Structure 1
Amino acid sequence: MSAVIQLDAIASGIAALQGGGGSVTTLSTAARASTELLGALPPRYGEVLLNLLDRLESSALFSEESCSFSQKDLLDNLQVWVDKARGQLVS
């Protein structure tokens, strides 16, 4: 699977969660398995992605009120990551 296809899969997972569907587990599993994508990006992209995924997974364990991480903010940050990663892939 190419890096762009893996990035598109992550973007689709984010969009599904933002739309009220999808699952954090599905998104996280797909993102963590995106080895071709992560190999095509500078190493710091992998570090940031894994950090965001860890926090997103933690937020999914609690209700919005009891978690220190806002799932909406984390999804917004993941979308920024996707946009920046896409810019790296095309440059």
Structure 2
Amino acid sequence: MIHVLYFASLRERLDTESENLALDGAATLGELKKKLATRGGAWAEIFTGGELVLGAVNQEMAQDETPVNDGDEVGFFPPVTGG
């Protein structure tokens, strides 16, 4: 089981701030994104619709190839800009 957090506009669009989720074979951050996209609707738009979604595993910036293991905390957030 992993703990997934959704930040900023993702939280609003998905109407959830966090959830506990079984990996069910998802071994990398990219595979987890694909799994979330199968929920359809906004989930598919966000995780496979060509939007840039950043991820972190255990509060460290991560790439799609980053392994995800039981007990990890995964965060997803949109890119941020500042000025």
Please state which band the TM-score falls in when normalised by the shorter chain. 0.3 to 0.5
Please identify which structure carries the higher helix content.
Answer: 1
Q: TM-score, normalised by structure 1?
A: 0.32
Please identify which structure carries the higher strand content.
Answer: 2
Q: Which has the larger Rg?
A: 1
Q: TM-score, normalised by structure 2?
A: 0.34
Q: Which gives a bigger RCO, structure 1 or 2 (Cα 8 Å, sep 6+)? A: 2
